[in-house]
Amino acid sequence: MQKNHAVRLEKIILFCADVLRLVGFYQKHFDLKVIGSADENWTVMDAGGTSLAFHKMGAEYDTGDSRKENSNVKIVFELDSDLKIFRENLIKNNVEVGPVKQFPGVPYQVCDGHDPEGNVFQVIQYLNEPGT
């Protein structure tokens, strides 16, 4: 019988056209910290329980348009402060964000947005402590 092995998510890597632009965005708006040093080809940021890494895409994949369309990935951040105020600050800084939404039976509010390269992010705020 094969043993089950515990695994955990170590890192999410986003391929991008401009690593330093995304690093600056996530530092400014989400207060993520660079692990090591920032580099135009590869940078890792501390995202709480995991890492978010940016990897410069190869020239063969660079179409000249860094905006992603129809991305099937969403990076979700949990917020410990007021989501509506956080959203307003993003809007004041010209970040593309949608409305705050809440769905029936879900104990949190959400707001989706896009980073400068079109990667989708979501910010959630629990209305009560998770599990209560």
End-to-end CA distance of the chain: 38
pLDDT for position 59: 77
Q: What's the number of domains the chain is made of? A: 2
Whether residues 52 and 76 fall in one domain: no
Q: Please tell me the chain's helix, strand, coil percentages from 3-state DSSP, rounded to the nearest 5.
A: 20, 35, 50
Domain around 106: 71-132
pLDDT at 132: 46
Answer yes or no: do 55 and 101 share one domain: no
Q: Which two tokens stand for residue 64?
A: 């000249």
Say if residue 46 is in the same domain as residue 81.
no
**pLDDT value of residue 71:** 72
Is residue 58 classed as helix, strand or coil in its secondary structure? coil
C-alpha torsion angle, residues 72, 21, 54, 78 (rounded to 10): -60
- pTM metric for this prediction: 0.86
Question: Does a structural domain hold residue 3?
Answer: no
Answer whether residue 90 is part of any domain: yes
What parts of the chain have a pLDDT lower than 70?
1, 62-70, 129-132
In a domain, 4, yes or no: no
Task: Identify the burial level of 76 via C-beta atoms within 10 angstroms of its C-beta, where 0-12 means exposed, 13-18 middle and 19 or more buried.
Answer: exposed
Domain holding 24: CATH number?
3.10.180.10
If one counts every other C-beta atom within 10 angstroms of the C-beta of residue 30, the result is: 19
Give the pLDDT score at 2: 73
Tokens for 90, please give them: 């993003």
